[in-house]
Structure 1
Amino acid sequence: MTDNVYTSDVTVDQATTAQLAESIRLREERIAENIDELVGRIHPKVLATRAVNKAKSQVVEEDGSPKPEIIALGAGAVLGVAALVVGLSGRKRG
């Protein structure tokens, strides 16, 4: 048997001390790699970049041009707020 084995390749009863030590070392490496990957996924810069990209995809077409329906929605919201402000300011005077 080689020393480079996982404990799943041999039973613990049949494994040598060196094989068990190597198996533990390999498992620790895999766990460390998994932790590094998870930390990378939740890093604030990665999360911010992901959020920006998601927001851009909602507003901008793949070719970089703005989506017309989003422009219309934004313009409608601005006009609605302006109308509300004008309407409320007129009521206070009268």
Structure 2
Amino acid sequence: MTDNVYTSDVTVDSASPTQLAESIRLREERIADNIDELVGRVHPKVLATRAANKAKSTVVDEESGSVKPEAIALGVGTVLGVAALIVGFSGRSKRG
């Protein structure tokens, strides 16, 4: 028969060997559960899904399902900025 004893309720001075063993077993189970949860959180598939969902929520409005105007503006601005840099550098190399 095992006593269902939690670690915080057991002290070495007042517990029986059976209670201490049960307390250790319960602590090991909790630690194993915590490790399993942490491994699940850092699994590459989970991280990739979380990153994709975050990126999608940045670009797509969840209520309407349409692309956010600020995301379109940022994309267009980035393309124009890169194009301006390319044109600027190509013009400098011809002069120099």
TM-score by length of 1: 0.80
Distance 1:86 1:4 in 2: 74
Residue of structure 2 equivalent to 1:74: 75
Give the CA RMSD over aligned residues. 2.1
For residues 68-94 of structure 1, give each alpha carbon's deviation from its aligned partner in whole angstroms, at most 9, with x where no partner exists: 11112212222333344445555638x
Where in structure 2 are the equivalents of 1:4-15 lying within 5 Å?
Answer: 4-15=4-15
Give the direction of change, closer, same or farther, for the CA distance of 1:22–1:78 in structure 2 (3 Å limit).
same
Give the direction of change, closer, same or farther, for the CA distance of 1:68–1:23 in structure 2 (3 Å limit).
same
Distance 2:74 2:10 in 1: 64
Distance 1:73 1:7 in 2: 54
Partner of 1:24, secondary structure, is: helix
Q: Percent identity?
A: 83
Partner of 1:8, secondary structure, is: helix
Gap regions ≥5 residues in structure 2: none
TM-score by length of 2: 0.78
Gap regions ≥5 residues in structure 1: none
Letter in 2 for 1:64: G
